[in-house]
Amino acid sequence: DLGSSALVFPRESPSAHVQVTAKLEQPLNNFTVCLKSYTDLSRPYSLFSYATRKQSNEILLFKPKPGQYELNVGGKFLSFTVPEVLGEPQHVCASWESSTGIARFWFNGKPWPRKGLQKGYTVGVPASIVLGQDQDSFGGGFDAKQSFVGEISSVYMWDMGISTMEAVSAMYDSPAQTPIFGWNNFPYKIVGEVYLKP
């Protein structure tokens, strides 16, 4: 249980990242990803990257600039405009369902207007899941200029959608639904210069 610890990415890097070592057996027709990040970067950076051998942006949570998040599903993306805050932790959740293509996004526990993409798509397996870098190939192809610098914590992933109440619970590390992986039982491997700090 990583509790109130955070993964600290101390500097821009072409290689430092955290691998999530959970094994996903089944392709996903629904998913939700939640995490907390804390940074003062204003350049683009990647928070959560899920790649398969066929598609490097199978799921990607990316921040092109302050005040904007991008959710990629199967190489197509949606943008969500959020308040521009630097120097405060930001908690986000993004969920998507194949049957309608509807994506939901929560910023600090607040739901944003729903949008849609990739109706009928299936997110593949096996996956390489990486925090703090954008994979342009399976498990690699990183670009230092898109690397994350700062702190990431409270990372969760489900194979289903969640409610606003559950997004808020995830923010406080007390999720109601059992995730595929979560901060209370987080399977990870640090590669390069990243530190787990209380």
Predicted local distance difference test score (pLDDT) of residue 176: 87
User: Of the candidates 17, 24, 46, 21, which has an alpha carbon nearest to the alpha carbon of residue 123?
Assistant: 24
Predicted local distance difference test score (pLDDT) of residue 3: 87
User: Of the candidates 132, 118, 110, which has an alpha carbon nearest to the alpha carbon of residue 48?
Assistant: 132
Beta partners for residue 68, in sequence order = 65, 81
Cβ atoms of 95 and 30 closer than 8 Å? yes
Q: What is the DSSP string of 66-92?
A: TTEEEEEETTEEEEEE-----SS-EEE
Beta partners for residue 185, in sequence order = 182
User: Of the candidates 48, 152, 170, which has an alpha carbon nearest to the alpha carbon of residue 109?
Assistant: 170
SS3 123: strand
Between CA 63 and CA 41 the distance in angstroms is 10
What size, in residues, is the chain? 198
Per-residue confidence in pLDDT tens, the chain, 198 aa: 888 999 999 999 999 999 999 999 999 999 999 999 999 999 999 999 999 999 999 999 999 999 999 999 999 999 999 999 878 999 999 999 999 999 999 999 999 999 999 999 999 999 999 999 999 999 999 999 999 999 999 999 999 999 999 999 999 999 988 999 999 999 999 999 999 999
Residue type at 159 in one-letter notation: D
Helices vs strands, H then E, count in the chain? 1, 15
**Global pTM?**
0.97
Between CA 170 and CA 122 the distance in angstroms is 25
Distances (CA, A) of 92 to 98, 142, 145, 171: 20, 23, 22, 8
Looking only at the bridges linking them, the beta strands covering 30-38 and 45-51 are: unpaired
Predicted local distance difference test score (pLDDT) of residue 172: 95
Instruction: Please give the CATH number for the structural domain made up of 6-192.
Output: 2.60.120.200
Predicted local distance difference test score (pLDDT) of residue 85: 80
Question: What's 165's DSSP letter?
Answer: H
Between CA 171 and CA 4 the distance in angstroms is 11
Predicted local distance difference test score (pLDDT) of residue 161: 97
Predicted local distance difference test score (pLDDT) of residue 87: 81
